[in-house]
Structure 1
Amino acid sequence: MLIGGLAIGYIFSEFSGKDPVSTEMAKGDGPCPDGAKALSWRNPMNPAITSPVAAKDEMGMDYLPICAESKKEKKILFYRNPMNPAITSPVAAKDEMGMDYIPVYDDGARSGPAGTVSIDPTVVQNIGVRTTAALQKTISRDIRTVGRVTFDEQRVARLHPKVEGWVEKLFVDRTGEQVDKDSMLLAIYSPQLVASGEEYLLALKNWQILKNSPFPDIRKGAKRLLQTSLDRLKLLDVPEHQLKEIRQSGVVPKALHIHSPFDGIVMNIGAREGQRITPETELYMVADLSRVWVQVDIYEDELPWVRLGDEAEMELPAAPGRIFKGKLSYLYPYLDANTRTNKVRIEFANPDLVLKPEMFANIRLKASRTVDAVVIPSEAIVRSGTRDQIFVQRGPG
């Protein structure tokens, strides 16, 4: 049982689905316990309003009796340290600060577990203690924040040549242009590429001559040489259609064709016709925007609510009234020291390309839910500054 200060005015019934225990006496026993006299009656909603007789307020609620102290003599069970209730004494005593121990009387209440506090029903009525039942509910929290649309890093390609040479022709020469997978972007002339193609042709002719040789070692050597020269061309990114052209025509093409690795949009072009290029030259940047990331900042106190897979809704100033749905896919393992926020990544489908990199968006993150949580009113919690406590009522008083 949690013990706290009494100022909150709430005492909780144990969670069992039963109604809270009332502190009123049964009507047949009179308004006050132990036959005590009711001195006056007070308004249950406004203690400053009293009545000399029993009455009801404007909401139909009964006035509460203000009872006289019972004249029944009570037996002292023991004495308790006023600063530390766990320290008791069978006789009257003083603590190290000279304060008198407080007597604990036998008021007929049931004994309970260690730490149980008993309150005289008269005191309960006079101070207006209220009770309410703790409930089991599913609780959740929506986190509202802003985000920024970015590329899906797994859907971005930066194309570099693997040989030195010169740009013969650009088939795509404008940024922002939509390209399909395997469509040609540009053609490169490279002496190194031509030399490797000639080696492949020689190895191919050698294999055609020696493939029917009666000597196994000669056949294996010719086949190995052919495969090695073919692998070299593939490592230089010679496309399959040009390899097929070399085999069928017996001629090495002058230019190497560079193709798009997937459907996407040309975001940058780093070369022009006639330009000399090296492996360090970025020829194209191609991005697939059919799926995008949104980077979102979450404050420290919101992190315990965030889980991978949480659903999110996004709205854009550029698309008023439209709601995009996505899921949280990654929680970055570090905090921003300046803003005290943690970055998270949310993925959104973008089939019609409405979402564009660098757009700002309003995000509502549907944080994970806690099922069957015990909930109580916030004002019933006693906050000491170091911990939170509540009262649990186990019976009258």
Structure 2
Amino acid sequence: MNNKLTSLTFLLLPLLVALSVMMAVIVPGWSAESEHKGKPLFYRNPMNPAITSPVPAKDDMGMDYIPVYPDNDNSTGPAGTVKIDPVLIQKMGVRTGMAMERTMSRLITTPARVAFNEEGLAMVHSKFNGWAEQVMVNKTGEQVTKGQTLLTIYSPELVSTQEEYLLALANARVLAKSSMKEIREDARRLVRATRKRLAYFDIPEKVIRRLEKSGEVKRDLPIDSPFTGTIIDIGVEAGHFITPKQRLYRIADLSTVWVYAEVYEPDLPWIHKGDMAMIKVASQPGKKFSGTIDYIYPYEEGKTRTVKVRLIFNNRDGRLKPGMFADIAIHADRRDKVLAVPSEAIVRSGAREQVFVVTGPGIFEPREVVTGVEADGYTEIIRGLKQHARVVTSAQFLIDSESKLNEATAKMLEAGDPNKKSANKQVNDMSGMNMKNQEDSMQGMDMGKQKNDMPGMDMGPAK
């Protein structure tokens, strides 16, 4: 038995030495008694800093309490101020940001759908009967420009109208030499009337001028595009008989598009016409498009309990396609010159919100703040900070832990008697225990009976 104990001792001794070295390196204050001179303020539980003792003690695991000495490094700041060595700051990865004035708004996110700008839609009809002779644009999706010829039409009615106009011109030239003013005026009125008739049939101005210059009647007359856009529907083929009620083309100007969003009732009071919005579509990953609210519809959809909002977006590069689904973020309740900090700088603890302000090299002061709206990774600061204040944006939770410990220490020092705040009082105070009764209660225990329960073990006196 003694040989076994000796072997076990030799095995455990190196482990205990190695553990002591590790604790001296890892646990703050492990060698505090050798590094500090003077009397400790109190002793702190190594596993739970909230538990303290006015005298040296051990926790339930047999670990010594850590002595806490007066530290003047934080005396220049309020309770909770933390001072960290610059080398340690770099190892912790501490980063900072600055409180700056910026434009902030309430962020409302909702699904959306891209649609045609209805103000940029045009239907092409013929204002006279005739036959489609040549169809120049015969594919949907084709891009056309303003004034581009779409098709030519043969119409007997237009042929006779051209002849009437040429006769009116010839008559006006002859009667221009008449001595009677009324005759000259009647001839000019007839020219203007026949010319207007051609214009009312939407005959292009260039065709009318060519007719005046050449004096030859054109059998087939063109129909041109009213503006630049994209052909989204075609209703004519070569040889078709055309009437004014037949739609020949549908053209859309896609340089701008509308986006419809569904806004829920609680968000409705925040949005206004002119508010800015950003959308993302699946076909353009990482790309955002900006637009503005153009119209808020005056009724609510009964099934979805939402109100439709129409927004207008610039689409000159053609990346937004009508029919696409999108995710939209509306920046409502816009506010200019709002003091804000990066959102990651805010440390939330229950109902309390605070930031750590850099007041000097390696000095971090906790400061409680009142926050407002949050958007684009920034949070509005209503009260608690001034402009250009530098705040911690990373590793602030490590700093927060040390700050709370320093704050608790300061409160104990202010109280002047750490015994009153000791959570370890019950461990050290044993005056109320009657040890005599405990001895009496153990006299009736027969340890000899325990041998049967532990076979192989010799409970006799050790040699």
Is TM (by shorter chain) over 0.5?
A: yes
Contact 2:143 2:229 in 1 (8 A): yes
- Say which of 270, 282, 285 aligns to 1:317: 282
What residue number does 2:172 align with?
A: 207
5 Å matches for 1:96-115? none
> Residue 149 in 1 paired to residue 107 in 2?
no
Does the C-alpha gap of structure 1 residues 165 and 353 become closer, same or farther in structure 2, counting only changes over 3 Å? same
Shift of 1:370: 6.1
Report the counterpart of residue 178 of structure 1 in structure 2: 143
Tell me how large the CA RMSD over aligned residues is.
2.5
Q: What is the aligned partner in structure 2 of residue 196 from structure 1?
A: 161
Cα distance in 2, alignment partners of residues 140 and 322 from structure 1: 21
CA deviation after TM superposition for structure 1 residue 269, in Å: 0.7
Q: In the alignment, which of 273, 283, 302 is matched to residue 337 of structure 1?
A: 302
Q: 1:306 aligns to what?
A: 271
Measured at CA, do residues 370 and 248 of structure 1 come closer, stay the same or move farther in structure 2, by a change above 3 Å? closer
Q: C-alpha separation between the residues in 2 aligned to 1:276 and 1:150? A: 33
In structure 2, list runs of 5 or more residues that go unmatched: 1-50, 52-78, 81-102, 339-349, 353-463
Percent of residue pairs identical = 45
CA distance in 1, matches of 2:182, 2:137: 48
3-state SS of 1:283 partner: strand
Q: Deviations over 1:22-73 (max 9, x none)?
A: xxxxxxxxxxxxxxxxxxxxxxxxxxx9xxxxxxxxxx99xxxxxxxxxxxx
Residue of 326, 330, 343 corresponding to 2:291: 326
Residue 275 of structure 2 contacts residue 334 of structure 2 at CA under 8 Å; is this kept in 1?
Answer: no
In structure 2, relative to structure 1, the CA distance for the partners of 1:315 and 1:167 (3 Å cut) is same
Query: 1:1-397, aligned counterparts within 5 Å?
Result: 140-369=105-334
SS of residue in 2 equivalent to 1:252: coil
Structure 1: tracts of 5 or more residues without a match: 1-48, 50-59, 62-137, 381-397
Given residue 246 of structure 1, which amino acid in structure 2 is its aligned partner?
A: L
Whole-Å Cα distance in 2 between the matches of residues 379 and 250 of structure 1? 89
Q: Could you tell me how far apart the structure 2 residues matched to 1:203 and 1:238 are?
A: 18
**Higher fraction of helix:** 2
The one-character-per-residue Cα deviations of 1:44-103 (angstroms, maximum 9, x if unpaired) are xxxxx9xxxxxxxxxx99xxxxxxxxxxxxxxxxxxxxxxxxxxxxxxxxxxxxxxxxxx
Task: Give the match for residue 76 of structure 2.
Answer: none
Higher Cα Rg, which structure = 2
TM normalised by structure 2 equals: 0.50
Q: CA deviation at 1:212?
A: 2.5
Deviations 1:195-225 (A, max 9, x none): 1111111111111111222211111111111
Q: Number of matched residues?
A: 245
Residues in 1 aligned to 2:126 and 2:235: alpha-carbon distance in whole angstroms: 12
Query: What does the per-residue CA deviation read over 1:290-330, in whole Å, with 9 as the maximum and x for residues that have no partner?
Result: 11110111111211101011000010000000010111111
- C-alpha distance in structure 2 between counterparts of 1:212 and 1:305, whole Å: 75
